[in-house]
Chain A
């Protein structure tokens, strides 16, 4: 893989939560790149790479995304530039989420965001403890990879840090680039052309997460 690192990467700031970690992790893997945390459409559209993070409830996220017309900027970016969605950033890229009584999202990927459930049961647990699974799905879980440049130098079934109560159920299985399992199968990563999005937090996933971010910043957007 070419190690052409992004000159400028814009982390989209639409007022939802802490972007310090995403910024810090990107800067760590690309010390010479200009990592911007910005809501300015001009800066976002001028960047080589764009990251759409997100935490909290989908209604608030989509509310801010629409109010600040970030959805239009993201749609423009998605036409050509490498774009990475993280956590609720991924969920916001789906068709619709059932959180907050149902919220329409940006529909970059066709599929639904669903609740894990209050009585989520695990499969046979290795540790022999109660089979009930807690929600949120919080902690380090494995991802079964589907070949993609963003998994470069990361072992299949590596663990990443997740924290979410809603999960992505994709309509088109060919867009699922990483499979997770927590009581039920879910999409841990989605990808199509120059867009890639993950449910876990690469910025909090130690070496594997940093590697994924580095892969993203050296990605030309060709799947």
Chain B
């Protein structure tokens, strides 16, 4: 069950993400890596307490230490204002419109996915690519988030089990191990 998107929107989003980063010999595609969940999790960040904006520190546990990334940071009231403006938009609320109306990510995704269309998941890959390319602004927005979901820390919902990092030979968050001087200077 998606957190914020409808089931239909989630299917359209998944197809578009997979078109941007398809499964290959190198590794998983965007869907297997959980990228749609990353984006749905961002759009629905305020369904969680604390909101899923900033993972905690100092370690994830992948190289030792505790699983601190799993504890998300509480937001201050100013942080919450900023992230609600970014995600939900200003919604006509005067406290969010001190510099005029703000269109939020939720509205941009709802509009963009509707424009891709309910038939989008059933198109053949070339048609999917062409339709996505015809929507430059939405494709740019989506691709930024696809990159974050694919190659960011797994605690945000994408890069499932670090699978995308393994595919590109990236070791991820290496604290508290770090690298030895020899690994830095003479790898």
Real complex partners, A and B? no
